[in-house]
Structure 1
Amino acid sequence: MTSEFDPHPGQARRKRVAVASILGAFVLLIGGYVGAAAWTSGRAPSDTTVGGVQVGGLQPAAARAALAKGVEKRAATPVTLTAGGKDATFTPAEAGLEVDLDASVADLTGFSLNPVKVVRHLTGGSDRPLQTKVDDARLKAAVTKAASELAVAPKEGSISVAGGKVAVVQPVTGQEVEVDPTVETIASAWPRSAPFVAPIKESAPKVTGEELDRVKTEFADKAMSGPVAVKAGDKTFDIPAAVLAPAISFPADAEGKITPKLDDKLLVAAVSAAAKKAGAVVDAKDASVTFSNGQPAVVPSRTGVALDATKIVEPITTALTSEERAAILPVTVSQPKFTTAQAKATLPKGQISTFTTYFAANGGGRVNNIRVAARTLNGTYVPPGGTFSLNGVLGRRTPDKGYVKGGVISEGRLSENYGGGISQVSTTLFNAAFFAGVEFKEYMAHGFYISRYPEGREATISYPYPDNRWVNTTDGGIYIRASSTGGQITVSFYGTKKWDIAATKSPRRNIVAPKKITDPSPACITQAPTPGFDVTVTRIFRQAGKTVRTQAFNTHYNPEDDVTCTHPQAK
């Protein structure tokens, strides 16, 4: 039997104890390390910030709560867009912007035995950005709305000299916010307190401010610096800059260059008016014809002094910017349109036509108006080839001319207005012109037939339309005499007889019966019924007993309704 002998039993025991101690310490160390790793895995790394909010060492729920509180004010602060010195704001809520708290604190915790990670977790941290939620459609809508507030419409500048004062309006450069890049910037950088500078597209006006200033200095200031001194013939006078200003404009070409422009017509008119006011020009005067003791007499024509319209623009334009500010304008002799010789050669030789119509002498306002108009018409002279206008002679019928209210026809009914009754003057004149053989240019029959006038040979009138207008196509001047006494008005033409005029009338045709109307209004005027009809009058031109030509006058009359007034105050 063999046995093993240990010569050092105590030493071996000590080795076993030492190994066991080392193993125990190692197990404790490992356990502590694992415990520390487990402890740190439930907290955010030390000194960690999210969006600038300190969350280090906090468990996930606490970190989320701290982050929510830390960014609450920033997340609710309105977003400000700025562009070109203008600001527009909108709230994050309306733009669909929201801080994603869960995503922002995610991955801050987690178990790891990696010594590097454990140490970093215990001793360090990082600054993490906020995570956000963005509703792209709502953000674009909010930016688009803000962009409309920041937009600036381009505006062209201008320069003017109205009233003789130089005025410059500076141009405005337009701006338009680029929406899509702005949306991208906000989506990536929100939230922040600083304004977002929006990228813009600019649209420059055609004419620059520098160009306007150049034209002001080189032309406008000089042109409006004072009056222009003018010498015309033996007269001198000043034309204020304000008088010339309406003729000056400042158009720009396609490149934005301004060239001052003068309107020749306006400039000539302004200078001519100033010259006339100063007595440098005198209108030529036509000859006229008067009657004295029943005999015609010529009032001689007179030449005048006029500016040469073709030699006004250049000297005035030059004077506007010259140091002397003076212009010399040539004058010419102006001739009358109707000379003394022409008047003498076409003097009326006798009465060529006359016509009389009648009315009730107690006809009230219309009788007064007939007599006022006859006095105004009396003595009118129409030269050969001249055009006569009754509205031109009488003008608007107003109380200050002596007219009162009288009967008129308005929309088929009798009523009253100033000048009522003048149509009888017009009708009497029309018949005198008819039998003189003149050429009618404008006339209108009454709406319905009035028995005191010849059928188809009558003319109503109102101001300014319809008129009684005709051209003197006889071989001499026509002198008109008009008078009204008692219950009649007579108009006679004196001139050189050219035609023997006769007239025929057709039977009535297309007869229409009037209607019966009962009117309770106080303004009602009783009307006697008259049928409507059509009629043709033929004017026959004869010379030496032979018919040279004929002319038809077709007239349509509406029926005059049978109007019965029931109001006690009606007429």
Structure 2
Amino acid sequence: MTSEFDSDTGQARRRRRVTIASLVGALTLLVVGYVGAAAWASGRVPSDTTVGGVQIGGLGPAAARDALAKGVEKRATAPIELTAGDKKATIDPKEAGLAVDLDESVADLTGFSLNPVKVIGHLTGGVERGLTTKVDEDKLRAAVEKAAAELEIAPKDGSISVAGGKVAVVEPVKGQKVEVDPTAETVAAAWPRSAPIVAPVEESSPKVTAEELERVKTEFADKAMSGPIGIKAGDKTFEVPAVALAPAISFPADSEGRITPKLDDKLVVAVVSKAAAKAGATVAAKDASVTFRDGQPAVVPSRTGVALDTTKIVGPVTAALTSEERAAILPVTVAQPKFTTEKAQATLPKGQISTFTTYFNANGGGRVTNIRIAARALNGTYVPPGGTFSLNGVLGRRTPDKGYVKGGVISEGRLSENYGGGISQVSTTLFNAAFFAGVEFKEYMAHGFYISRYPEGREATISYPYPDNRWVNTTDGGIYIRASSTGGQVTVSFYGTKKWDVTATKSPRRNIVQPKKITDPSPECITQAPTPGFDVTVTRIFKQGGRTVRTQAFNTHYNPEDDVTCTHPDAK
């Protein structure tokens, strides 16, 4: 017979077994469910997940990587903008060795794990992380250095000027140089982003500061250009405008950036002297000259003048530029002529020392007119002892308003026409008179080819401004030139003090070159008769008292004058 106690105990045991079994089953179900959830979550990115601002939540690993690649493509390839002050430069990410590491950026967002934190994170979502990037440091530094060169600004000193009489200030510019290493670090940390990156820079200041410019402007420039300078010279007063002095003023700075205004002494003297002459405060001295009266040489007396003492101009004018009175007193002196009456008297021509005549066709048209105009201009020229003569200086440019007409000239080995053509005959005649007077030639040139009306090796062409017929009077007296042209000849005679007896010898022709034959159909063509080219040497012999003092060789090269036949009906 079973007791009631035994019955209760058995039931209790059964209940406990049932409860334990139920708990085990529930726990098993829970574990299985948890493992199942973990397994489900492992195949996709947690929901509402962003990487580098790109939403990839709920996607599988491959899809998440593709979505991220597409989402950052624009940012990853866009140029990186660097700024430094007002300047901008860009960097190509690829050239700079910058790339997004897609695999690392999505790593650990998928994959099986029983870690409750990860499992719950997968189920609840909300993960947010940045991009992982790869950086080639050498390439990045090189790219930043290149951009830094574009962003660099060299310091520029300020400047001040008074050009045109107006004070102008150019403000100084601070320099900037990009710090490469910190900039590279900033780019690597910030990339990829669309906002410009401000590059750290090192600033440098110019030597000449804005404060220094303002000082010089106030203390000197504004005052100097505030109005004209009043000047008293002798019994005359006149003004020099500030704008006239402006080109003489400069503002150099020393090594410390301090500016000291500087005046060009020569320019100041020239400006003041010009104003003085215009006001009649100075009068140029006049050299003596020589003329012929009744066939005899006579002296036109020299005259003293009034001049400023050029050594005492700059100081007073400089002081006046910034003074309250803006006035200067300048001393005057007596200006002496270079060629005085006494010198002219002592060196008066004593007689004819040389003469030469050349001949031409009196019906030669324009060249005859030009010869006579040039001879009249040359006639009466006086060259003092040691003086330099220039035929171009006497005649000037040959223009129609002086009466010159077109005449024959030689241009590039061919005959042509131009204003003043023919006066080379005057030049050649003058050359021979000068040759036999014994002067020292400084500049002359023979014709390109030989012209039979002139002596071989003793002739001189001329054009304006080059070549010239220029020589120095090395005789013991002044030379008075008489020139005239009548009929078919032109004569030039020198009157002075004879120093040498001059004769000449001529070598045989050598290096003879025959001319070419040319047929020219152009209307400008001028017929040429053939003449061979050759070299020749003329020797000038200086004698005193029948004894040869010295000799001088003149070597001349002539090109051949080609045989030119003109076929155009309008040709000459």
Please give the TM-score of this superposition, normalised by the length of structure 2: 0.89
Of stretches 541-550 and 115-124 in structure 1, the one that deviates more from structure 2 is 115-124
Secondary structure in structure 2 of the residue aligned to 1:564: strand
Which structure 2 residues correspond to residues 467-546 of structure 1 after superposition, within 5 A?
A: 467-546=468-547
Letter in 2 for 1:128: R
Which structure 2 residues correspond to residues 321-400 of structure 1 after superposition, within 5 A?
A: 321-400=322-401
Distance verdict in 2 for CA 1:75–1:24, change over 3 Å: farther
CA contact (8 A) 1:298 1:343 kept: yes
Of stretches 550-559 and 426-435 in structure 1, the one that deviates more from structure 2 is 550-559
- The match for 1:222 is 223
Shift of 1:70: 6.9
Q: Residue 34 of structure 2: which of 28, 33, 36 is its match?
A: 36
- The match for 2:269 is 268
Secondary structure in structure 2 of the residue aligned to 1:454: coil
1:129 equivalent in alignment to 2:130:
yes
- The match for 2:462 is 461
Distance verdict in 2 for CA 1:499–1:99, change over 3 Å: closer
Shift of 1:339: 0.7
Uncovered stretches (5+) of structure 2, i.e. residues with no partner:
none
C-alpha distance after superposition, 1:60-99 (max 9, x if no partner): 5776677678767766766432211334456767867555
Shift of 1:114: 4.5
Of stretches 496-505 and 208-217 in structure 1, the one that deviates more from structure 2 is 496-505
C-alpha distance after superposition, 1:368-396 (max 9, x if no partner): 11011011101111112211111111112
Of stretches 282-291 and 433-442 in structure 1, the one that deviates more from structure 2 is 433-442
Shift of 1:328: 1.3
Letter in 1 for 2:29: G
Shift of 1:119: 5.4
- The match for 2:13 is 15
C-alpha distance after superposition, 1:449-490 (max 9, x if no partner): 211112222221122222211222222221111111111111
Shift of 1:333: 0.7
Secondary structure in structure 1 of the residue aligned to 2:404: coil
Shift of 1:283: 0.9
Query: 2-side partners of 1:216 and 1:113: how far apart?
Result: 82
Query: 2-side partners of 1:62 and 1:475: how far apart?
Result: 113
Query: 2-side partners of 1:337 and 1:463: how far apart?
Result: 28
Distance verdict in 2 for CA 1:59–1:19, change over 3 Å: farther
Of stretches 224-233 and 344-353 in structure 1, the one that deviates more from structure 2 is 344-353
1:418 equivalent in alignment to 2:422:
no
CA contact (8 A) 1:49 1:127 kept: yes
Query: 2-side partners of 1:483 and 1:455: how far apart?
Result: 23
Secondary structure in structure 2 of the residue aligned to 1:376: helix
C-alpha distance after superposition, 1:145-182 (max 9, x if no partner): 65455443443332111111111111223334345543
Secondary structure in structure 1 of the residue aligned to 2:525: coil
- The match for 1:167 is 168
1:292 equivalent in alignment to 2:304:
no
Q: How many residues end up aligned between the 2 structures?
A: 569
Secondary structure in structure 2 of the residue aligned to 1:275: helix
Secondary structure in structure 1 of the residue aligned to 2:536: strand
- The match for 2:153 is 152
Query: 1-side partners of 2:111 and 2:32: how far apart?
Result: 13
- The match for 1:559 is 560
Q: Residue 24 of structure 1: which of 14, 22, 25 is its match?
A: 22
Letter in 1 for 2:290: V
CA contact (8 A) 1:248 1:260 kept: yes
CA contact (8 A) 1:45 1:122 kept: yes
Secondary structure in structure 2 of the residue aligned to 1:8: helix
Shift of 1:143: 5.0
Query: 2-side partners of 1:207 and 1:74: how far apart?
Result: 44
C-alpha distance after superposition, 1:281-335 (max 9, x if no partner): 1111101112233232221111111111111111111111222221111111110
Query: 2-side partners of 1:457 and 1:301: how far apart?
Result: 37
Query: 1-side partners of 2:552 and 2:110: how far apart?
Result: 115
Shift of 1:411: 2.7
Distance verdict in 2 for CA 1:541–1:76, change over 3 Å: closer
C-alpha distance after superposition, 1:473-510 (max 9, x if no partner): 22222111111111111111222233333333333344
CA contact (8 A) 1:381 1:480 kept: yes
C-alpha distance after superposition, 1:233-274 (max 9, x if no partner): 111111111111111111122222222211112221122112
Query: 2-side partners of 1:162 and 1:441: how far apart?
Result: 41
Distance verdict in 2 for CA 1:293–1:76, change over 3 Å: same
Letter in 2 for 1:303: T
Query: 1-side partners of 2:534 and 2:255: how far apart?
Result: 65
Uncovered stretches (5+) of structure 1, i.e. residues with no partner:
none
Query: 2-side partners of 1:57 and 1:554: how far apart?
Result: 105
CA contact (8 A) 1:37 1:111 kept: no
Letter in 1 for 2:383: V
Query: 1-side partners of 2:93 and 2:538: how far apart?
Result: 88
- The match for 1:280 is 281
